[in-house]
Amino acid sequence: MQLKRVAVTGMGAISPFGKGVDILMESLYKGASGVTMVPELKTIGGVRSHVAALVQGIEPGAIPRKHRRTMSKMSIYAVLACQEALTQACLPPECLFGGNMGIAIGSTVASIDTLQKFFEDYLVTKNMEQMRSTIFFQIMNHSCASNVSQALGIQGRVIAPSAACSTGCQAVGLGYEMIAFGKQEFMLCGGSDEFHPLATASFDIINAASVGYNERPSQTPRPFDRDRDGIVCGEGSGILLLESLESARRRGATIFTEIIGFSTTSNPKNIADPSAASMETCMKNALSDAGLKPQDVDYINAHATATIRGDIEECNAIHEIFGEHVPVSSLKGHLGHTMAASGSLELIATINMMKRNSIIPSLNLENPDNLCKNINLIQQMETRQIRYALKNSFALGGVNSSLILRKYENDK
């Protein structure tokens, strides 16, 4: 069976920097931080981390009430990001209908905020008479994917992969495979998440959240840095429109990149501990899927959330395969960890780096950890031709995913 080539022809982003890919890239290139101190976190007993990267400056009212009523913030982010991706792709409206377009959009969990509001009433009253009909649609696990399909009128496959921090990357990978196998002509793919203190608390309780920079929020997280102390939770949505290369060429679309390799694997040894060996397998499988050798890769956008152990494990895995020369950076220092959105948001940034031939350095990486010095960590903006890039996402629960991008050169 001849697999189809897969192109990225549209991108949309809702990030801690606001609405749109332009503001995302402008902020990343100027080394801005989306992390702020969140007063609410200071009021919660047992939560030591008071920082987060929250979405600013969006207008949910742009979505008609009939669709918005069933959305929590994560679905609103996803719909706005999808709209931007579709606009950028200049896709004729008829492409959305008739089943040619599918959706693979997931979140870490459904809306905890909506659940909290429900239980605040229910646990006091033991009564469900005040329950709105729209609550279920905000707490079902496929809330984002389903709300996007309803809001945009998409009739193809709707799947909602959920693999915590791997979700965005995995969703794009699944979309890539669906198009490669000819099951869908177009796929809107990515991850979306909304912030809730439970996310911060979940990392804090396992000593993986940043707790030492509450008064200096822009200085954390610190991927690969000697003084890193953990994750900063964030929110947002990153959406990519994928389509077959032949479709993109046929309609004269701008092709931003090709996706040529994907792997997702499990580390069953421990549900919480990162494993270099497992990460290595995932990256090797992605290289194999792409038909590439390690020396072909020009840039790696790391998962690197700034946990003590996770960054070291990823460095060791990268070193084992690629040695010490391939440039590596992480965008968590700018964006925090946007959870399910992180893989796809950072993928969008990677695609733009390939387009601009320049690598964004890891923010807050001032003194590389001795145990992370075995790879080429980028600390200054670096101009470089990026023909092939690799993107990693590794999740609690032991789910790894890696994607490989190829710059589209219209050459073959």
Partner 1 sequence: MTNDEIIRIINDSLIKEFELDGKKMVPEAILYENLELDSLDRVDMVIVLETAFKFKIREEKEIRDIRTLGDIHNFVINKIREIERIS
Q: How far is the CB of 64 from partner 1 (least distance, A)?
A: 9
**In this complex, which beta carbon is closest to partner 1, that of residue 134 or of residue 288?**
134
Q: Which two tokens stand for residue 169?
A: 């990357």
Using alpha carbons, select from 246, 236, 231 the residue that is nearest to residue 105.
236
Q: What are the residues facing 394 on neighbouring strands?
A: 400
Q: How far is the CB of 95 from partner 1 (least distance, A)?
A: 27
Helices 143-152 & 73-89 angle (0-180, nearest 10) = 50
**In this complex, which beta carbon is closest to partner 1, that of residue 67 or of residue 309?**
67
Q: How far is the CB of 22 from partner 1 (least distance, A)?
A: 30
**In this complex, which beta carbon is closest to partner 1, that of residue 129 or of residue 411?**
129
Q: Which two tokens stand for residue 66?
A: 């009939």
Q: How far is the CB of 63 from partner 1 (least distance, A)?
A: 11
d(CA 82, CA 189): 9
Q: How far is the CB of 76 from partner 1 (least distance, A)?
A: 15
Looking up tokens 């008739």, which residue turns up? Answer: 98
d(CA 10, CA 189): 10
Q: Are strands 186-193 and 236-244 parallel, antiparallel or unpaired?
A: antiparallel
Using alpha carbons, select from 258, 291, 259, 209 the residue that is nearest to residue 401.
259
Question: Which CA distances in Å does 141 have to 134, 146, 341?
Answer: 14, 9, 15
Q: How far is the CB of 128 from partner 1 (least distance, A)?
A: 10
Cα 383 to chain centroid distance, Å, stands at 24
**In this complex, which beta carbon is closest to partner 1, that of residue 134 or of residue 367?**
134
**In this complex, which beta carbon is closest to partner 1, that of residue 2 or of residue 133?**
133
Q: How far is the CB of 65 from partner 1 (least distance, A)?
A: 5
**In this complex, which beta carbon is closest to partner 1, that of residue 69 or of residue 355?**
69
**In this complex, which beta carbon is closest to partner 1, that of residue 58 or of residue 399?**
58
Q: What are the residues facing 188 on neighbouring strands?
A: 103, 241
Q: How far is the CB of 250 from partner 1 (least distance, A)?
A: 38
**In this complex, which beta carbon is closest to partner 1, that of residue 137 or of residue 299?**
137
Q: How far is the CB of 133 from partner 1 (least distance, A)?
A: 4
Q: How far is the CB of 67 from partner 1 (least distance, A)?
A: 12
Q: Which residues bind partner 1 (CB under 8 A)?
A: 65-66, 69-70, 129-134
10 Å Cβ neighbour count for 29?
Answer: 16
Q: How far is the CB of 140 from partner 1 (least distance, A)?
A: 14
